[in-house]
Structure 1
Amino acid sequence: MNEASAPDARPTFKDRWWALFDARIGSLPVPIYFVLVAVLAAMTARGKLASDLPTGIALVALGGFTCAELAKRIPWIRHVGATSIFAAFIPSMLVYYKLMPAPIVKAVTDFTKTSNFLYLFIAAIIVGSVLSMDRQTLIKGFVRIFIPVAAGSVAAACVGTGVGVALGMQARHALFMVVVPIMAGGVGEGALPLSAGYAQIMNVEQGPMFAQALSAVMLGNIVAICCAGLLNYVGTRKPGWTGNGQLTVAANAGDDAMHRAPLSFEFDVSSVAAAGATAITLYLIGVLAQQLFGWPAPVVMLVLVVAAQLFQVVSPRVRGGARFMYGFFSTAVTYPLMFAISVAMTPWGEIVTAFHWVNIVTAASTVLTLVVTGFVVGKLVGMYPIEAAIVNATHSGLGGTGDVAILTAADRMELMPFAQIATRIGGAVTVMVALAAFAWTR
């Protein structure tokens, strides 16, 4: 046997080590993961765990990727959004039952609230996904998405209220305290103004009203995450029903191929930095608009970036940087963000109080009606039914945090711009109509 035909030499220690380093838990190399565990445990034991940026990033990355990795190893339920459910709710439960060390809770909470982590993520995802989108697809998607969202809202209000009444609720309570909060756009933009309006109309304290609305929002969010995971699984079984993140069906096969093909923008590191600066600038313009006029900052940012894409304001090179920015945030930041929000902002106690079977069935029927209506109506108006149903599911989510969890479960983060329409605009319309109807039926 000559030397050329000899079998390959055994892997060296260096080869094995590099292979281990290339193995990942989330985005963390396995050796780095265990070093982080040891270092952060030592800092916690010594009482020296800081709330600064590097420590905060390490904590939420370790926690988020651990939750997602555990969920991926559970058969069956991993197909229905288990990774998102674990990352979004298990940390909150650990905090509530005091199973998470207090220094870690404090460090993660301080980091999350001072860094405004959530809105940095939403800005990067919205700007990155919109600037990476084909212009014609963008136009068709934004024009059409209001149809399934509106149809789903009306159908869900009727079905959810009917189910609540059938289970022994009063119609007024079922509609205004369970169904409407689910579609109101989350906590800050939904449950809070809704409960404040209810309290003012009835001349009572806001606290009990807010607790009831919040419990309904939490239940709706959990059901929506499960529905999104199931829709993603259905999409793998029925590929003709899904655009894999593309919302509208192309007019012909040639267009379809063009829209599905990745956009080939040239970019470099400076282009990624320019895209990040663009995203932050658009978000800050939204914040200023909110301060001056009371307009929701994410909606203003969404309108501006859509206009920038339609009128080709941003150069192809920076759009390429935005595409890379979107890929980075959707891959490396999603689960750490969900862990951070779960620890700092998700009240497990409110979720537990909502676990009464009547509330669960009513909330589930509301969300399922939204999703099924989105599926059917979306298909009728030229959308991929899986994507239309997922966007409708975000209408029953927990605001921006719910959009992240639902789209993560669906593996469709590209739909974030449309989810923001369903959540922000759909939620605002729901709150206004509900308060007017509540006052009229008093």
Structure 2
Amino acid sequence: MEKFKLIGLEMKYFIPITIILIVAIILGKLPPGMLGAFPLMMIIGAVLDYIGNKTPLVKDYLGGGPIVIIFVSAALLYFNILPAKEVKIITDFMISQRFLDFYIAALIVGSILGMNRKLLIKAAVGYLPVILGGVLVSLLLTGVVGALLGYGFKKAIFYIAIPIMGGGMGAGAVPLSQIFGQALNKEPSELLSVMVPAVALGNALAIVSAGLLDRIGKKYKNLSGEGKLLKVQDDSMCQQKELSVPTYNELGIGLIIATTFFILGNILSKFIPIHSYALMIISVAIAKILGIINDYYEECCAKWFNFIMKNFTAALLVGIGVAYTNLGEVISSFTPIYLLLVATTVVGAIIGTAIVGHLAGFYVVEASITAGLCMANMGGTGDVAVMSACHRMELMPFSQISSRIGGAFMLLLTSLLINLL
């Protein structure tokens, strides 16, 4: 049997590393900056990720590891378990040293450039309108219900509906909190404390809804393609190139291209009143569609994204829990109205994608699952859970469009809406 490992390390290495970190914390010798933050966040993240992915109900309905990492990390701060010096090291690394931006740049640039070009173009023409239908109905329905219940039209849309439909945690709620914080002159941590529970609950409801839609499709055969999305299927939309094992040089190329696109977004935001994240997304999408970047360099960016996602996602979530999540505000946000608005968001996504999908020649059940529920879940992990619940893993490429392109679209849409409203 393969030896038990965490972050690729056997226990005979993982445990001594953990002991050294604990001793450094006790003696006050954990170095500041990434030198201390990286190992501390990676070790905490690895342990909590394993626990979350093995805990019943949590792993099946609440997103597993990511949710546990965020909330337990926030609890370490809330209950003063993590010393103040280590809290400052993590917070400075996330905010002052901008590890969060570094991660988001790799994620956005790599995920878009790593997609099949035909898939991206076809998605823009045929699939994105279905996503848009789900987003519009979801936002409007949640806003109206929020207004009727006294929660507030704008507050329901921006604090609940948009985070849920935003593509998960790292690609959705976190960059959204940055966009909101800049526009509203509020701390991102304050905004995230409201958004994070919505994303978690929306993910759980999306998984349950996937199972229900599968049953509806079995009962009403005309509504389901039994795993086939389009009534006139184009197999080229499902073709995705396999990436080879990355070399050191390729990872370096991916790093410089991803960070340069981030800088380009900052430059453009000087002249265009839209958040730099949104401008970065537009720039990358244009470069991809027009074929400006050589296929080899696109693959380098995709490999860099995969490297960052594989090794640093758990660490990033620890940082989000410590630096951006106020557990007291999270607890106070759980009210019957809040839960109802989360449910309204997911139901609105199902209704909107069902209507537009039917008009666009999609099967209703499959359109609602891929373009609706895969927008409302927690990105990659949520996609797997949703597709497993409805037994439609063959539609994973479309769920990835929703999580990647749909999530990027939500950042762009939010950047525009927040300036208008």
Instruction: Provide the TM-score with structure 2 as the length reference.
Output: 0.77
* Contact residue 87 and residue 339 of structure 1 kept, 8 A: yes
AA of the residue aligned to 2:408: I
Which residue number in structure 2 is paired with residue 99 of structure 1?
81
Which residue number in structure 2 is paired with residue 410 of structure 1?
383
2:65 equivalent to 1:83:
yes
2:47 equivalent to 1:66:
yes
> Cα deviation per residue 1:158-196 (whole Å; 9 max; x = unaligned)?
543565577xx33xx4323334432456333236635x7
Query: Which structure is larger by alpha-carbon Rg, 1 or 2?
Result: 1
Give the secondary-structure state (helix, strand or coil) at the position aligned to 2:371: helix
2:178 equivalent to 1:188:
yes
Matched residues in 2 for 1:252 and 1:146: separation? 16
> Once superposed, which parts of structure 1, at least 4 consecutive aligned residues long, lie more than 6 Å away?
231-243
2:348 equivalent to 1:348:
no
With over 3 angstroms needed to count, the CA separation of the structure-2 counterparts of 1:120 and 1:235, relative to structure 1, is farther
> Cα deviation per residue 1:58-82 (whole Å; 9 max; x = unaligned)?
1111111111100112123311212
2:205 equivalent to 1:223:
no
> Cα deviation per residue 1:213-267 (whole Å; 9 max; x = unaligned)?
7665344223233345557888999997779xxxx869646525xx334346796
Which residue number in structure 2 is paired with residue 111 of structure 1?
93
* Contact residue 370 and residue 393 of structure 1 kept, 8 A: no
> Cα deviation per residue 1:293-339 (whole Å; 9 max; x = unaligned)?
33321222212222222222222222232232222122222111111
2:19 equivalent to 1:29:
no
Which residue number in structure 1 is paired with residue 122 of structure 2?
140
* Contact residue 391 and residue 422 of structure 1 kept, 8 A: no
With over 3 angstroms needed to count, the CA separation of the structure-2 counterparts of 1:83 and 1:264, relative to structure 1, is closer
Shift of 1:117: 1.5
Shift of 1:273: 1.6
Which residue number in structure 1 is paired with residue 390 of structure 2?
none
* Contact residue 45 and residue 317 of structure 2 kept, 8 A: yes
* Contact residue 123 and residue 401 of structure 2 kept, 8 A: no
Matched residues in 1 for 2:86 and 2:5: separation? 23
AA of the residue aligned to 1:112: M
2:298 equivalent to 1:319:
yes
Matched residues in 1 for 2:257 and 2:214: separation? 35
With over 3 angstroms needed to count, the CA separation of the structure-2 counterparts of 1:45 and 1:284, relative to structure 1, is same
2:414 equivalent to 1:427:
yes
Which residue number in structure 2 is paired with residue 49 of structure 1?
30
Matched residues in 2 for 1:155 and 1:222: separation? 21
2:273 equivalent to 1:294:
yes
> Cα deviation per residue 1:42-97 (whole Å; 9 max; x = unaligned)?
00111111123232111111111111100112123311212221122221122112
Count matched residues. Answer: 381
Matched residues in 2 for 1:323 and 1:66: separation? 27
* Contact residue 92 and residue 342 of structure 1 kept, 8 A: yes
Matched residues in 1 for 2:209 and 2:335: separation? 26
With over 3 angstroms needed to count, the CA separation of the structure-2 counterparts of 1:84 and 1:305, relative to structure 1, is same
Matched residues in 2 for 1:107 and 1:426: separation? 34
Matched residues in 1 for 2:33 and 2:192: separation? 31
With over 3 angstroms needed to count, the CA separation of the structure-2 counterparts of 1:85 and 1:93, relative to structure 1, is same
Map 1:160-239; keep pairs closer than 5 Å.
160-161=142-143, 163-164=145-146, 169-170=149-150, 173-183=151-161, 186-190=176-180, 193=183, 216-227=194-205
Matched residues in 2 for 1:236 and 1:41: separation? 48
* Contact residue 25 and residue 65 of structure 1 kept, 8 A: yes
Note the residue ranges of structure 1 that are not aligned, 5 or more in a row: 1-15, 197-205, 395-404, 436-442
Matched residues in 2 for 1:158 and 1:309: separation? 32
With over 3 angstroms needed to count, the CA separation of the structure-2 counterparts of 1:332 and 1:52, relative to structure 1, is same
Note the residue ranges of structure 2 that are not aligned, 5 or more in a row: 164-175, 218-223, 385-398
2:133 equivalent to 1:151:
yes
Shift of 1:285: 0.7
Matched residues in 1 for 2:213 and 2:119: separation? 20
AA of the residue aligned to 1:393: A
* Contact residue 136 and residue 352 of structure 2 kept, 8 A: no
CA RMSD in angstroms comes to: 3.6
* Contact residue 268 and residue 276 of structure 2 kept, 8 A: yes
